[in-house]
Copies of this chain bind each other. A is one copy, B any other.
């Protein structure tokens, strides 16, 4: 009987056949003895994380793979980003992603990232906790110039335009309501007032005076985008009966995990970049299996490398995943699931809608004859072609935790 499960999602792992790799994908062309050993022991298949031919975002595909239908639960990236910054969101909160930016005395945008300042924290601190028209504003700092804004109050809407025009030399837009509802008008109005007040406060911030003195652009404006309202996420443990933890270094995925009630396991050396310590992440995940029924491990870098067109480094990174995957070979009481959230084509440098490989290894699975973990090898596996939302169902079933439908 399986005690627990580990779900390893390698972001953007899958690819298309590349001419430069003799018609193989980076995964097919990589030396992956450990992943292949897992594939040999397990059952394999391919997954359309959203649907056949649909190009998944990383947010929607993770929701689906974790058992949350994005058609129901996805409202926008902002809520996950904010959650990832440690903000405790409540149902009805509206979250936005924000950049600290530079405007001149005529409100013309000079720099969308305020010279890529090192940390937004000392700037946004004083903006946190302002109340306007009964709406409470919370601001948290992210990496560098990044921040998140959360609005809490009655009757808010996320149907708002961005104030970020995405170009320089113009004024920021006013945030507008994108529908004619009272809620959207009200929310846009409160947010515009807040942005004005933030500009006034930031302009007076002594740190900005220092920046100007040394010739750096002042961080005196908040450009925001991606307003999203937090719908209630049913708790992962309540939905699936599995106490769950997440090992990830990247905000978005930590945000998804937090939003669905998973605990975060932080791992020194996990960076979300190609230099990340994959062994350390697997070690932490395996340790967490002592305490948790389900551990989701997210490994980011293959996606970024493919988006940079760097298919050789992608292959190299996959070989690093493989070396770490040795640690997954001896988990006797654990269902081991390895898959990807979407294909990232190194030639097109973007997410594509091609299915991703999956393998499921553990006692009781109907091991098939597939001997390699690869896009095309797994397409011939015993799982066939399933959807992202099916993955948690398969996991629950193989763990012996699925409820009977009927009698």
A74 sits at the interface (CB 8 A): yes
CA distance A55 to B17 in the complex (A): 36
- Cβ-closest chain B residue relative to A1: B348
Q: Mark A46-70, 1 if CB is under 8 A from B, else 0.
A: 1000111111111111000000001
Known contacts A23-B367, A366-B17, A352 near B397 by CB under 8 Å: yes
Knowing A348-B1, A353-B402, the reply to whether A393 touches B54 (Cβ < 8 A) is: yes
In contact, B384 and A348 (Cβ under 8 angstroms): no
- Specify which chain B residues have a CB less than 8 angstroms from the CB of A380 in the assembled complex: 380, 382
> Are A390 and B60 CB-contacts (below 8 A) given A16-B364, A70-B406, A379-B366?
no
Q: Chain A 1-44 against B: per-residue CB contact (8 Å), 1 yes, 0 no?
A: 10000000000000011000001010000000000000000000
Does A313 count as interface, using CB distance less than 8 angstroms?
Answer: no
Most buried by B among A54, A59, A395: A54
Contact, CB under 8 Å: B397 / A57: no
Q: Check A279 for interface membership: any CB of B closer than 8 A.
A: no
Nearest-Cβ distance from residue A68 to partner chain B, whole angstroms: 12
Give the distance in Å from the alpha carbon of A105 to the alpha carbon of B348 in the complex: 73
Q: Are B364 and A347 in contact (CB under 8 A)?
A: yes
Chain B residue contacts of A278, Cβ below 8 A:
none
Instruction: Give the residues from 347 to 374 in chain A that come closer than 8 angstroms, CB to CB, to chain B.
Output: 347-348, 350-354, 364-368
Residues of chain B contacted by A195 (CB below 8 angstroms): none
Contact of A57 among B55, B351, B404 (CB under 8 A): B404
How distant is A243 from chain B, measured CB to nearest CB, in Å? 20
Q: Is the CB of A352 within 8 A of B400?
A: yes
**A: number of interface residues (CB 8 Å):** 61
Contacts of A397 in B (CB 8 A): 53-55, 352-354
Whether B376 lies near A59 (C-beta < 8 A) is no
A385 within 8 A of B: yes
Is A145 on the interface with B (CB-CB < 8 A)? no
CB–CB A393/B16 < 8 A: no
Q: What's the minimum C-beta distance from A291 to chain B, rounded to whole angstroms? A: 25
Q: How far is the CA of A365 from the CA of B25 in the complex (A)?
A: 11
Q: Which residue of B lies closest to A387 (CB)?
A: B52
CB atoms of B379 and A384 under 8 A apart: yes
Contact B406–A61 (Cβ < 8 Å): yes
- Known contacts A76-B407, A379-B382; 7 further A-B pairs (Cβ under 8 A): A50-B406, A53-B392, A53-B396, A57-B404, A70-B405, A352-B402, A380-B380
Docked complex Cα distance between A233 and B403 (Å): 26
Given A59-B406, A390-B53: A368 and B379 within 8 A (CB)?
yes
In whole angstroms, what is the CA distance A59 to B61 when docked?
A: 34
Q: Does A77 contact B (CB under 8 A)?
A: yes
State in angstroms the CA–CA spacing of A52 and B376 once bound together.
Answer: 21
